[in-house]
Amino acid sequence: MQADMRRYQFRPFVVAATTAHAEGLVVYDNDGVATVRYCDAMTGGPRTATVPLTGQFPLILPSLQDLNKALSQTANSPKTSDGRSLRERFDAEMTAYEEMLEQAMTAAGEDRPYSEPDYGTYVYDTVFNQLFLILPEFWHRLGLVTNNGNLCTDPDGKRSWEEVRAVFDGATVGIVGASVGGNLAEGIMREVRPSRIKIADYPGLELHIITNRLHLTAIAKIQEIADRTVIERDTFATELGDWLLPNSDDRRTNGMRGREFGFPDDFSSVCTKGSSASCGYFQTRSHSLQRGVR
């Protein structure tokens, strides 16, 4: 089913520079003024916009220069899947772009207006009539994560930088609630930089902290019943025990320690045994919750 683009009327028009130049979607005149041809999100019909020099932002070269400063040297640069280091790949990319830029400037003359090289992606803001030219997706996203490479690693430190990024780039992060979840979303987008994030928010929902002891007791009992229904199943307990490790186990790598889920030492140890004996733990916790103990 085709999406109703009227829901996305404020989304920018995005097109690869190669396609834009070949199909005449972005054209420059002798004064450098750009003409952008795009499809109107509301009507579906063709639209044409004229963008003056003051509304144009060619960001390729400054972005590459910033990356050049941010990336480490070859000696400690992470390896990529093609065998080259990230630094080596960047140096090759920078050289190729400089050659394309020189050719574009040489080709421009009195009878032929200047046109940006066939490199990068155009982003046209239909609301403010601004035209941006940014790096290809890989290098554009790289500029967002160069400062947090040591923050986003796997617990055992065995995955390469590229493998870690592949996990985040392929993930879809889901957040329910935009009030408290809004801060969480901001932190995830700043540090993890996933390719996709979905936020579900219902305007009628509000966060309430329950302080009434009767309500806490009822919730604790319901939670105990729900937890025991699952944990006391031998099939689940056995499966959980196969990969949940005690908090003190820092040797094995084929599982996850209970503390990584917020589980205390006693519960993690019981679950590791893979038996339904863990039901006693939930009884103790539910009684503690009824007394107001966290």
Q: Which of 34, 37, 54, 14 is nearest to 116 (CA)?
A: 34
What mean pLDDT do residues 160-177 have?
Answer: 79
Neighbours of 290 (CB within 10 A): 17
Q: How far is CA 88 from CA 28, 68, 72, 130, 198, in A?
A: 34, 11, 10, 34, 35
Q: Which residue has the higher pLDDT, 293 or 145?
A: 145
Contact (CB, 8 A) for 68 and 60: no
State the pLDDT at residue 187: 76
Q: Which of 273, 43, 82 is nearest to 160 (CA)?
A: 82
**pLDDT above 80 for 265:** no
Strand partners for 85: 79
State the pLDDT at residue 279: 43
- Pairing label, strands 130-134, 56-58: parallel
- Pairing label, strands 34-39, 26-28: antiparallel
Strand partners for 245: 257
Q: Which residue has the higher pLDDT, 156 or 4?
A: 156
pLDDT in tens, 140-152: 888 777 665 555 6
Q: How far apart (Å, rounded) are the C-alpha atoms in residues 194 and 171?
A: 6
Name the strand (E) or helix (H) holding 70: helix 60-70
Contact (CB, 8 A) for 34 and 131: yes
**pLDDT above 50 for 275:** no
State the pLDDT at residue 111: 65
**pLDDT above 70 for 177:** yes
Measured in Å, how far apart are the chain's first and last C-alpha atoms? 49
Where in the chain are the domains?
A: 5-148, 213-290
Phi (first) and psi of residue 12, to 5 degrees: -75, 160
Residue type, 220: A
CA 271 to chain centre: 33
pLDDT in tens, 60-110: 999 999 888 878 765 667 777 788 888 888 999 999 999 999 888 888 766
What mean pLDDT do residues 13-32 have?
Answer: 93
